[in-house]
Amino acid sequence: MKEKEAYQQQIQSILIQKETLNLQLLEIQKALEDLERTGDKEVFKLSGPILLKMDAEEVKKELKEKEELLKSRIASLEKLESQVKEKLKKE
18-67: pLDDT as tens digits = 999 999 999 999 999 999 999 899 999 999 999 999 999 999 999 999 99
Eight-state DSSP code of residue 41:
S
CA distances from 50 to 10, 24, 30 (A): 38, 21, 21
For the chain, give the number of residues: 91
pLDDT at 90 over 90: no
Residue 16 · residue 27 · CB < 8 Å: no
pLDDT of residue 3: 87
H helix or E strand, kind and range, residue 91: none
Eight-state DSSP code of residue 45:
E
- CA 59 to chain centroid, in Å, comes to 17
pLDDT at 1 over 80: no
